[in-house]
Amino acid sequence: GPLSRVGEYLSDGFPRGIAASDTFVFVADQPAGLIVVDVSNPDSPTVRGTLSLGPDPITQVFVPNTVSGTPTPAKTGALVSRRGGLQIVDLADPDTPRITAAVGTSGRPRAVTVTPDRLHAITGSQLETFDITTPTNPRAVGRTDIGSDAQQVVATPSLVFVGTADEILILR
């Protein structure tokens, strides 16, 4: 059936990216930075925490997709900022999110997806994969040629899907 509005969160700035996990929504806001919003009561969402990178605007935020029926808040996510590039963010305490490490990609990420233990980023014609089980030390574990027209990536714990102009690549 049709969706109905049950609440809203009004930012002081301009939302540039959004991600959700369990009862939290993560907003990449310009100029405020990362805002963690608790939507456990969607009629009255509340800000739990923020992370500012000062004059470096956060433009995108990514968290693992939760599996239906097993709500587990994201403990680790990623964000992209203009100057800092791709970075790992510790979300274990929603009141105090913090950057734990930069991710050394070969170029500016066009698309990113995060699972609880992996981060996948499309850079140029490559899909770069990083092990993020130790969030303070993301480790490159693979690079796959996917062509220069790849624009989207999403992953489950066992498969990675890359959207190109003509097809969806399925990778293991």
Q: Can you list the residues of the chain whose pLDDT is less than 50?
A: none
- Model pLDDT, residue 104: 95
- Model pLDDT, residue 73: 77
Scanning the structure block, which residue is given the tokens 């809203």? 8
| 162 Ramachandran zone, left/alpha/beta (phi>0; psi -120 to 50) | beta
- Model pLDDT, residue 66: 60
- Model pLDDT, residue 12: 84
Q: What 3-state DSSP class applies to 84?
A: coil
Nearest to 82, CA basis, from 100, 55, 101, 62: 55
- Model pLDDT, residue 1: 87
Rg for the chain (alpha carbons), in Å? Answer: 16
- Model pLDDT, residue 57: 93
Predicted TM-score of the model (pTM): 0.90
